[in-house]
Structure 1
């Protein structure tokens, strides 16, 4: 030691800065960047990149590595190309690993054994050196100061700022060094995984389908045995059993059987029998059986059984009183939650959605009911199991629930149900008879009496005319009246009235008397129409609230009576009253929307006769707009035809002959489809349109 200071390398002469400040190259570093010792060169020097303080940090890291391990991090005696590759791409081994595997002479020079030296370097020193030797300059220490600070912390046994490489970092480096090999390996691995996954999915699907088949087979065998009992063993003697007796015996057998070996099928039988009691309007027995089925199902793990029991009970609990409606809705939601989101449970999900739709409808939430019915049909179409019976029941429910708000959709549902019932061989069943009746009623509301009469007739073929209720008889009478078969219509309206009187059914009494009034007016029997109207008004005042829309109906019929008697001022007053009453009822949230077009048409008819074609045109256009919104622009209906007739007559009075003829042609087309080509209204419209000679 001479005490003289020696300058070793101008390359590291640089202003010191915080690590947070990006290192900038000084003039000395830049000028000395090309003069280098290859074994101590940083990657950016070899590749011609930017040289900065980080370059000098790398050189210090190499020097530090050599001092501690006795070896250069890039190895010894390499060819130039290998040396460049090692500097740029190959990560240096940990200093601790190099020291542990070095000759004992290297360790002895450092007063240690190889293992001891490796242990001494392992940990923070490894981390400090690796940070200084990072290939990316931005990942090294930003200044000599920060490097020195970490060394001081190490000596003081304090936490250092550098952090070991994460697993993700090392993997990323490996991938970049071995792109082709990793890509090929990844493709092979993905192919293997895809193959294994596909096999597993196919195996699982096969097991699911097998389980479904076994479940359905067990259910079918159980139902076959049960049906055999009902058809043969239940009747010990030759005495015939009534339906009620047969149902009671079935209930007793199911309730007392030992079902410990097959509780799921026992629950299904209870649900099935309960449904039969529902059809016979014995709700108390139905609820008791379904409550029993629900309680048993709670002890089972089968999601199908648990869901069916919950949803069936929920639907049975809802009623007009509303006291159990909250629990009914909760049970529907409980049933839906029980079902996994898997196609094998599509049938059960459709069942619960259908029951939920009925609960929503009875709670007055028609939009929700229709949405649930549509969802049920969608799930049913995805089910691996065919259930035409459930599909039929959902269509019947959907048709009934949509009749008031979506009449065209209701008719379409009933028509699909009719086709399905025929395919199932149900043409002469009670289900088909009810279907024909409700379809006929929907067609009547749409103004299609020709089709409605045919469906009414099919219903009577199933039940017999004597077995029809007052409601069905009066609806059939109205269809006959629209078709001009007045005497037949009067006969069925009288039958309806007598049945309603016998059953003290005031609503049916009012409806049947209204049909009789219309028939008497069409027959020209004005005195009898007047008498019946007076009696009808007296009954209504005691049976209906004053804001009920049927008072508007009676006012409209009084307008028709006054019109036929040529009392046009009175006729117009009653027509105005009918429209005003119905609009008030609708505004207050009551029924009556579907009848307003008829009241507007009647007023337009009187306005035409009192020389008010503009008002008549306005009422007819308003009625037509409402009908097209309800039935669809492509629909056909006698009500649409009547509106076109009123429009044509209004235009005719105003001298717009060509436009009037177009409306008459439209009316003729409507009447031809809804009433038939030989109906008087059809012939009259065709004559006005110039389609036939007078």
Structure 2
């Protein structure tokens, strides 16, 4: 095939398609007319058509292989007697043979060079194949036993006889599941990797060259067209390359083989990707089974294959019976197969099948490593839309950013704007657990009060009815007075209403408690300050950041002036630090948290549990500031304290495990993060909680599941969190859950679904958060990543430039967020063809 660069091929391809669709007798007139406008184009097309006709005359890629002559049966070659033909490879026929020199019994496969290739080039090629096979010693490569020339000068190779079947047929016949198939495929990779270590590229990997014998052992066959990398500078290499240039199988050819570009180990990686695609789905990545050899070659260059899970979905719609049979051969159903392939395996196959050799796995070893990591339920290097690979290339060119970027690039792909969003909601677990602890305290204070009279309704009370009854009882008993019991009970009741999701009612009661305490003047200053801090917390949760800041700042200033060593100041400082982090002022969050910890240690030297809340807050602040080691040590110390006190199944432990899981995720320990957040979920189930921690934990657990490519499970947690947040009227968690669902869709390649979710989220965010709230930036980043994943590069660039500009204007933005946004923008520029 003529050597044509990729850009020129794309220009010629549509014209060549038109020509091939014409009847041969119509082409000369069409070319003549075309030549009047573009003589160069017409000349190139004429040359390609002539080459195509020549190949057709030679029978290239068409029809069955010519049958080997039966007269060779019984011929003796050295110690071996030919018995029967068993196949034909790229460079010769293969016969079964038995050893007849009397030394020992044995069977072998004898390969004879095609007679048409005899002569200097053919002999040189045969000596070359013998040299290749002699150096390859591996349990999964057919062994070379002997080599020689017959008395007529016929070169032959005696190879290990493999009685088996193609490995895809072997897997189908035994209905091997995906895990078992991957086990066999790893053996294939081991064999190819061994060949590559000896500077040998196979160049013709296909099912018929990969057999499984009776013992279940994989054997790689037919190095008849293998290429020695070390031969590039040897005399005669041009002849050898030219002779072998057409020796390819269209269904398994790499783009560089079709285009006449250099052959490297990446060529075998591409063919292995096709084999893996077939093994997992029963489908060819080019799509239709009826494609001609020419169409297959064109598809190798021009057509980006569907991801395996998407191909299964398409085949199920197009030919449900066929896809059902394919699934049965894998001991599953089409739906389950789709879910199994979606995520890691989709990404692994996509990386192996990149059109550009530089974007594939750099070696068979890295391909193998990703499959082993998948089987071990560990994160893999491949990522959707090859973003991780391309971002890594960008970061390597900017080495100063590598230390920060290496820990977060994978998280960008899987979780998108979650990195920014965690700046907003990183403390949600602690706040939620505090809500639960406050509820327990409030429940104790109201228990006798609410249940002294069983009522006369004749039916069980719902939680809401019970709390409304408690409110009526408080009003009846205390009226609008400013007594301490009335104020305390209103504060406790507001916490309980917040816990069941009735945030407006909770705010109403807490504002009433604060007003009553304020009217009491100097009578209950501590109670008023406590009410102010609790009200600031609820205003914060409702997204009313300015109102929360004003109230908390005033209360903190008053406490510092009038009660600088009061427990109420510790609580207020924790709430102020939490608000600082939500607003993105990480430095202030660290400083305020440290003040709260120091004061708690001074006030409660013999009560370590009273120090836990500010210590958790400080750990969260350190995490967002990038001091992961210090934060991790703090969480570990607190967890040890809980275990020593028998409090590992409490609300406080719930807060610690949740926040600790986020920290481990930031540090790159994704499996550790999943385990810690799972521990927090176990606590909620053990305590039969149905309140705020459930949706907070569900979102954070879903984020980590996405990073380890478990999108189906993640979707369930995000959906649960969104329903709960909607019922509670919690805009923060509802938005986080919506971002999670959009990230799931993006990871699956469901661009339309991701777009719909983000458009819906846009309306919600605009209606529930003030313009300066960082949620808007998180949403825009999520939209930019969605455009990027779907290769809508102009739209991605516009949105991501807006995000980067916002970050530059913002008072503070976490370093990880800066790196993530800029890495995404860099990837967009690459997609637009702007490498600089």
- Which one has the largest radius of gyration? 1
Q: Which structure has more RCO (C-alpha within 8 Å, separation ≥ 6)?
A: 2
Structure 1 and Structure 2 fold alike (TM over 0.5) = no
TM-score, normalised via structure 1 length: 0.43
Q: As a proportion of its length, which structure holds more strand?
A: 2
> TM-score with structure 2 length normalisation?
0.36
